[in-house]
Amino acid sequence: MPPARAIAPPDRLLLAATRHTRAPAGALFLASALSGAAALALPGVVGRTLDLLLARDSAGGRWLTLCAVLVAGQVLAEAAEALCSGTAQARATAWLRGRTLARLLDATPRAAARFPPGDTATRLSANATEAGAAPGAAAALAASLIAPVGGLVALALIDPWCALAFAAGLPLLLLLLRAFAAGSSDSVARYQRVQAALASRLAEALTGARSIAAGGTVARDRARVLAPLPELGVQGRRMWRVHGRAVARSTVLLPLLITAVTAVAGLGVVSGRLTVGDLLAISRYAALAAGIGTVASFLGTLIRGRTAARRLGDLLALPPLGSGTRTLPPDGPGTLRLVGVNVALDGAPVLTDVSLTLPGGTTTAVVGRSGSGKSTLAAVAGRLCAPDSGTVLLDGVPLAEIEARELRREVGYAFERPALFGATLGEALASGARRATPAEVVAAARAAGADDFLRLLPDAYDTPPAAAPLSGGEHQRLGLARAFAHAGRLLILDDATSSLDTATERRIEEALSRDVGPGTRLVVAHRLSSAARADLVVWLEAGRVRAVGPHEALWDRPDYRQVFAVTGEAERPRGPENHEVSGASGEAPA
C-alpha cells in the first residue's frame, strides 16, 4: 500500500485558517448552497408553471407564487453570501497576520533580519489578504458545485439524451480548468515575488531618503526602485492572459454545449417526447450545468491564496527563540556566565568557544575591532540570540530556561539606534515587560541627560515621537532613559553612547552608577574612556576572547592599544598598576 501523501505546509496553514473561521465559512457555504438550491429549483418550477398557465389550470397561480418566493429566497441568500464572504476573509486574514507576526517577533532578530522590511510588509499585508480569501473561496467553491451538478442530474431526470449531449463536452471543460490552474499557479508566484522585491527597494529608499538627497542620486535611485516594474508588468499580463484564455475558451465551449442540449430538447418537443415547459426547464438546467465553468474564479482565488500562504509559511518557519518556566533566585547579584558559547552566521563562526564570568554588580566593557563579535556577544548575553552551542547563565539559571517576561524584566538593553514606540515620548519610555511609573520615567530621563530637552518640547513628555525634532545624541539618550527605567539585575548597552560627546557620556556613566538601580553592566565600548572606567574589559578578536582584565593591565599590550588607535585616544589612562590579566580562556580573575 503506497504511503499517504503528506499535506503541504501552505495547505496546512490554510486548513488551520479555515478551522479558525469555520463559523462564517460554514454560514457562507450554507448561504451559497441555499442560493444554488433556489437556482436549481427555479427552472423546474417555472417550467411547471408555464405548462399550467398554458393549460389554464387554476393551480398555475399557486405555482407562480412559488416562483416569486424562490426568486426572493435566492436574492436574500446571495446577499447573505456576500456578507459571510467578507466576514470569513476578514477573520482569516486577521488570524493569519496575527499568527505570522507573533512568530516573526518571537524569532531572534538575526533570523528575522533575513527578510527585508519591504518584503515582510508585503507578506503581512497583500499576501495575508490573498491567503485570507482562500477559506471563503473554498466554501463558496464547494457550494457552487451544487447548481451545476444538480442541473446535470435534473437534465438526466427530464431527458437522458439531453444529459448525454452535455456530458460529451465535460472532458474538454475539465482540461480547460486544469490548464488554467497550472498556468495561474506559476504566474501568481512570480508576480508576488516581483511585488515583494519592488516593496523592498521602496522601503530601502524611504529609509535612506536623506542619504539619497545629500548624494544627489535621486534619479539613479528612482530608477533602481522602479527597475522591477517591467517584470511586474510581464507577470501581471501573463496572469491576465492565462485568465483570458480560460474565459475565452469557456465562452466558446459552454454556449455550444447549451445549444447542443437545447437542440436535442427541441427535437424532443417535435417528437412529442417533451413538453414546452420541459424545453424551458432543460434550457435553464443546461445553463446551470454550464455554470461549472464559473468555478474558475473560485479556483483562481484558491491558487492565489495557496501561493500567498507559501510566502507566509516562510515567516512561520523561522525558529522561535523559546523560553522556559523557571524564575531567577530573589535578590540575585546579576552574575553572568558564558560557558563554551559558539555562534555562527551562514556557516561562518562569529563567536568561538567564549567562556566568561562577569561578577554581579560590576561593569564590563567589551572591546575589539569591527567584526570581532561584540554585538553578537551582547545579543547572546541577554538572549536576543541563542547560541548554537554552549550555555549562558544569569545567577546560575540558564537563560533558555527562564520565563520570558521575567527575563525581560531583569535584562535591559539600550542600542545605538533605539526605536521608540508609543503615542507619546513618555509612553515610549514607560513601555516594557514592566510598565514604569511616571516618577521612574522622569528619574531615568534625568539620569540619561534627557529630561532637560524633553521639557523644552511643546508638550514635554506628552509629545508624540514623530513630532519631536531629535538629534542622534538626543535619540540615544531617550533609548538610555528607557533602559534605565527598566533596569534589572543585568543592563546591556550595545554601543548606546556612540552619538554622545565625551562630557555627556561621562555624566551619564556617573548617573548610571549613582542614580540607576544596582546591577551588572555589560557595555559594548568603542571609546578608550569607556573601557578605562569599567571594572573589567573583555577583549575580543575574530570572535574569540583574547584576554579579560582591568583596562590598566591590558594597556601594557601593544595590540590592545591598537584597538583604540583609530579613535586618536592614545594617552595612557591613569589608575592603579599591576593588575592581573587573564589569558585566552576568558575567565575573569577572582
Type of residue at 27 = A
Within a domain: 230 = no
Whether the CB-CB separation of 333 and 394 falls below 8 Å is answered with no
Q: Are residues 255 and 373 in the same domain?
A: no
**What pLDDT is recorded for position 587?**
47
Q: Are residues 384 and 265 in the same domain?
A: no
User: What CATH number should be reported for the domain holding residue 346?
Assistant: 3.40.50.300
Q: Are residues 127 and 67 in the same domain?
A: yes
The Cα 18–Cα 32 span in angstroms is: 17
Q: Are residues 62 and 187 in the same domain?
A: yes
- Tell me the per-residue pLDDT of 71-103, one tens digit each, with 9 for 90 and over: 888 889 888 888 888 888 899 999 999 999 988
Within a domain: 150 = yes
Q: Are residues 344 and 447 in the same domain?
A: yes
CA gyration radius, the chain:
35
Which residues span the domain enclosing 74? Answer: 9-200+238-316
Q: Are residues 406 and 535 in the same domain?
A: yes
Q: Are residues 139 and 167 in the same domain?
A: yes
Q: Which of 281, 316, 351 is the last residue of a domain?
A: 316
The grid coordinates of residue 401 equal: 530556561
The Cα 76–Cα 38 span in angstroms is: 11
Q: Are residues 100 and 196 in the same domain?
A: yes
Within a domain: 1 = no
Q: Are residues 393 and 474 in the same domain?
A: yes
- Tell me the per-residue pLDDT of 138-185, one tens digit each, with 9 for 90 and over: 888 777 777 777 778 888 888 888 888 888 877 777 777 777 766 777
**What pLDDT is recorded for position 570?**
47
**What pLDDT is recorded for position 545?**
92
Within a domain: 193 = yes
Whether the CB-CB separation of 453 and 425 falls below 8 Å is answered with no
Number of domains in the chain: 2
Within a domain: 584 = no
**What pLDDT is recorded for position 401?**
92
Burial 170-187 (b: 16+ CB within 10 A, else e): eeebeebbeebbebbbeb
Within a domain: 436 = yes
Map residue 450 onto helix, strand or coil: coil
**Which residue positions in the chain have pLDDT lower than 70?**
1-8, 181-182, 246-252, 291-294, 296, 566-590
**What pLDDT is recorded for position 41?**
78
Q: Which of 316, 349, 378 is the last residue of a domain?
A: 316
Any idea what DSSP says for residue 200?
A: H
Q: Are residues 281 and 345 in the same domain?
A: no
Within a domain: 301 = yes
In terms of Cα–Cα distance, which of 151, 165, 306, 183 is closest to 247? 183
The Cα 205–Cα 223 span in angstroms is: 11
The Cα 567–Cα 76 span in angstroms is: 76
Q: Are residues 255 and 345 in the same domain?
A: no
Q: Which of 259, 283, 316 is the last residue of a domain?
A: 316
Within a domain: 210 = no
User: What CATH number should be reported for the domain holding residue 102?
Assistant: 1.20.1560.10
Task: List phi, psi (to 5°) of 333.
Answer: -75, -10
In terms of Cα–Cα distance, which of 437, 431, 463 is closest to 450? 463
> CA torsion, points 400, 401, 406, 412, in degrees to nearest 10?
-30
Q: Are residues 542 and 474 in the same domain?
A: yes
The Cα 28–Cα 137 span in angstroms is: 9
